[in-house]
Homo-oligomer: A and B are copies of this chain.
Amino acid sequence: MITDIKKSAEEIENLLEEKDYRTLRSTISDMDPADAAEVLDSVEEEHIPLVFRILPKEFASECFVEMDSDHQMTLITAFSDAELNEVIDNLFVDDTVDLLDEMPANVVKRVLSHATPEKRAAINQILAYPKNSAGAFMTTEFVELKANMTFDQVFKKIRRTGVDKETIYTCYVTDDFRKLIGVITVKDIMTAQNEEATVGELMETQIISVNTTEDQEIAAKMLSKYDLLALPVVDNENRLVGIVTYDDAMDIIESEDTEDIEIMAAITPTDKPYLKVGIFETWKKRIPWLLLLMVSATVTSKILQHFEHALAAQAALIAFIPMLMDTGGNAGGQVSVTIIRGLSLGEISLGDILRILWKEFRVAILCGITLASANFVKMMLIDNVNIMTAIVVCLTVAAAVIIAKLIGCTLPILAKRIGLDPAVMASPFITTIVDALSLMVYFAIASTLIGI
């Protein structure tokens, strides 16, 4: 059952006006909390606290997690201490950390002062890990077992503590020093041949885990690669400190992809959804790159200034400059984006560079020949230029494509090798470099063949 957000928000506003709080409560709590959060985000801001207070407590907390951070703040500000207590109590540790990440210091302080001591310790521990690390992203609410437990004991433990765990389906076995020694799933236990066995006998001891300092993106990709429900996070002594769950991994993957896409389009990435970013912030995310790329184009201007008189004499050549530059830019953009994505998905590694260059060289030759031939026909039929001009332009097209493809595959790999984000080396940068090189080739060929 999926909710039409806009329609529901209007309905809620009407119910508020009619003061029909009973229907309002039941209408919202029949929704999935994720939908209810979107609906709450869409009603008038001053109504949010009222609607929120009408909802059943636990449901309200589930909604709260999914709401926009500005509305979360509105609510926290409106909450009494008792209400804040209730909500914080119902939140998972990792959700609390996410919440605090977006809040100003005074709100953080107020929230922390309302958490239980254990929760506060867990939150502070997670807050201490570097941003974007597995430690900063994990949750500390997992099921921890001992190797000598029977299945019956495991079930009893899960029954007792399971409600508050982020997942109960994968359980972690630790020794007396909290070192991670095994992993066992509820499925393993429920379908075990021998119901009398102990955890230690059935557990998997080949454990896939990450260190707290590992990049969250790598943790998410491991979860996806190994089809895990949750990935254990350990410290340098292999002590289990937390887990990253599949639903969080999905969110990481989506937001890392968004980040890559934004960087490839020469935008400083942001976590916020488009419509939530203000005018000045949007400007600030875009303008440095536009300025940098604009100033870099000084090189092409200089080249053209140098050949100004030659061009004035051979004015027919001017008309094809945009086409040459766009074609080079597009050809380079195609390969750089392919390589950037391949690196990000782990399909390509740094050692593949020679193989890639050789492949792209051959593809470039094919593309160059095709484009030059098509262009020659077009120029003779449509553009009505003389044959020597057509030859100069077509040779340049072929050369520009080859240069673009080779630069387009080399730069992202080099960027990765020196520790930069390869996504920076996408179309905009490649275009700027290829533009300058293509123009130089254009004039070199023109001066050789038609003596400009």
Decide: B342 and A322 in contact? CB cutoff 8 A: no
**Quick one: given A266-B334, A371-B294, are A250 and B246 in contact (CB under 8 Å)?**
yes
At the interface with chain B, which of A104-112, A133-141, A358-366? A358-366
The verdict on A441 contacting chain B, using a C-beta distance below 8 Å, is no
Decide: A264 and B337 in contact? CB cutoff 8 A: yes
* Residues of chain B with a CB closer than 8 A to A208's CB: 1-2, 32
The verdict on A414 contacting chain B, using a C-beta distance below 8 Å, is no
Residue in contact with A327 in the complex, picked from B30, B293, B320, B375, CB distance below 8 Å: B293
A290 CA / B408 CA spacing, docked (Å): 15
A295 CA / B371 CA spacing, docked (Å): 10
The verdict on A102 contacting chain B, using a C-beta distance below 8 Å, is no
Decide: B206 and A224 in contact? CB cutoff 8 A: no
Number of copies: 2
Decide: A155 and B190 in contact? CB cutoff 8 A: yes
At the interface with chain B, which of A45-53, A116-124, A279-287? A279-287
A37 CA / B189 CA spacing, docked (Å): 27
Does more than half of chain A's interface fall in helix, strand or loop, or is it mixed?
A: helix
Q: Whose C-beta in chain B lies nearest to the C-beta of A348? A: B274
Decide: B290 and A327 in contact? CB cutoff 8 A: yes
* Residues of chain B with a CB closer than 8 A to A341's CB: 258, 261-262
**Quick one: given A257-B257, A283-B367, are A439 and B308 in contact (CB under 8 Å)?**
no
Number of residues in A with C-beta < 8 Å to the partner? 119
* Residues of chain B with a CB closer than 8 A to A330's CB: 266, 289-290, 293, 428
A169 CA / B223 CA spacing, docked (Å): 18
Q: Nearest chain B CB to A70's CB is how many angstroms away? A: 15
**Quick one: given A267-B334, A327-B297, are A352 and B321 in contact (CB under 8 Å)?**
no
The verdict on A18 contacting chain B, using a C-beta distance below 8 Å, is no
A298 CA / B319 CA spacing, docked (Å): 9
The verdict on A201 contacting chain B, using a C-beta distance below 8 Å, is no
Decide: A316 and B322 in contact? CB cutoff 8 A: no
Decide: B298 and A378 in contact? CB cutoff 8 A: yes
Residue in contact with A168 in the complex, picked from B190, B223, B319, B323, CB distance below 8 Å: B190
The verdict on A309 contacting chain B, using a C-beta distance below 8 Å, is yes
